[in-house]
């Protein structure tokens, strides 16, 4: 399979990019990965790259985006950070990926049994990791299904996974809210964003349909903004 070119990248819509990733994950789960000549792809992309999608995922060694979506060299941008949290550098990288390099889709990918999520659930404080985990804390506090204070920790599997899901959704919302550039690309149909979660034991990725942001209406829905007299204003703090 050849690496993507400027022409093939331009022909892919955000919805098609999502389908390609879903198809790739199905192959991964069924151990039917495409036979690629990676050295050939490296040679084909020596003068440029045209990835069709960008994946923001955790640094966990078991959740490599290229592997679980069965993609080759030059196919996707991979942005990795513990707990798939969002900061200014991550947003800037996504702006480069979509606005400069032409990527059509952003996927925020969480995963099961995430160590960063567990650390946030236990309010761990260790050096610089403290600041990173603080970005997950809002999802910990937002989790409302676990009412027993004694069960709101990493020993409670359901609590951890609920927080992981909320953290993905908050990351999607943060990306859209913090970037006028990405907002414009989504509004014009040139890019989209969605949240997802990788199940480590099965390898399967579940996409969160309620985070599919692909037009102005879906942006307003996920950010809580409303159009008033043609202007967008915030309805929540």
From the centroid of its chain, how far is CA 91? Answer: 11
What was the pLDDT predicted at 10? Answer: 87
Q: Higher pLDDT residue, 38 or 219?
A: 219
Identify the CATH number of the domain in which residue 169 sits.
Answer: 3.40.1050.10
pLDDT of 233 higher than 50: no
Residue pair 189/214 in contact by the 8 Å Cβ criterion = yes
| Banded model confidence at residue 226, pLDDT cuts 50, 70, 90 | low
Q: Higher pLDDT residue, 225 or 113?
A: 113
**What domain range is 178 assigned to?**
6-234
In a domain, 220, yes or no: yes
In a domain, 1, yes or no: no
Residue pair 58/65 in contact by the 8 Å Cβ criterion = no
Per residue in 97-118, pLDDT (tens digit) is 999 999 999 999 999 999 999 9
The three-state secondary structure class of 177 is helix
From the centroid of its chain, how far is CA 83? Answer: 11
Q: Tell me which DSSP letter residue 143 carries.
A: -
In a domain, 119, yes or no: yes
| Banded model confidence at residue 229, pLDDT cuts 50, 70, 90 | very low
Q: Higher pLDDT residue, 225 or 181?
A: 181
In a domain, 129, yes or no: yes
Per residue in 128-160, pLDDT (tens digit) is 999 999 999 999 999 999 999 999 999 999 999
- Residue 196 CA to residue 134 CA, distance in Å, equals 21
Residue pair 61/20 in contact by the 8 Å Cβ criterion = no
In a domain, 188, yes or no: yes
In a domain, 11, yes or no: yes
Per residue in 20-45, pLDDT (tens digit) is 999 999 999 999 988 877 777 787 77
Long-range contacts of 176-182 (CB under 8 A, 24+ apart): 176/213, 176/219, 176/222, 176/223, 177/223, 178/86, 178/88, 178/91, 179/91, 179/94, 179/95, 181/95, 181/98, 181/99, 182/91, 182/94, 182/95, 182/98, 182/99, 182/106
In a domain, 208, yes or no: yes
Per residue in 53-100, pLDDT (tens digit) is 999 999 999 999 999 999 988 899 999 999 999 999 999 999 999 999
Token pair 């692909």: residue: 214
What's the structural domain count of the chain?
1
């Amino acid at each position: 399979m050849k690496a993507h070119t400027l022409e093939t990248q331009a022909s892919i819509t955000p919805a098609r990019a999502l389908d390609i990733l879903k198809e790739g994950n199905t192959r991964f789960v069924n151990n039917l990965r495409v036979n690629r000549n990676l050295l050939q792809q490296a040679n084909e992309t020596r003068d440029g790259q045209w990835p069709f999608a960008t994946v923001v995922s955790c640094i966990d060694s078991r959740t490599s985006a290229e592997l679980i979506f069965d993609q080759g060299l030059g196919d996707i941008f991979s942005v990795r950070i513990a707990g798939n949290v969002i900061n200014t550098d991550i947003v800037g990288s996504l702006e480069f990926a979509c606005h400069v390099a032409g990527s059509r889709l952003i996927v925020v990918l969480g995963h099961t049994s995430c160590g960063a999520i567990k650390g946030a659930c236990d309010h761990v404080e260790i050096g610089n990791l403290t600041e990173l985990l603080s970005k997950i804390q809002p999802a910990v506090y937002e989790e409302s299904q676990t009412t027993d204070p004694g069960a709101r920790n990493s020993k409670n599997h359901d609590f951890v996974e609920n927080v992981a899901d909320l953290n993905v959704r908050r990351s999607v919302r943060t990306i859209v809210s913090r970037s006028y550039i990405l907002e414009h690309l989504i509004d014009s149909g040139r890019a989209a964003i969605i949240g997802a979660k990788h199940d480590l034991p099965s390898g399967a990725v579940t996409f969160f349909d309620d985070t599919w942001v692909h037009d102005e209406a879906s942006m307003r829905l996920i950010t809580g903004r409303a159009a008033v007299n043609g202007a967008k204003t915030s309805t929540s703090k």
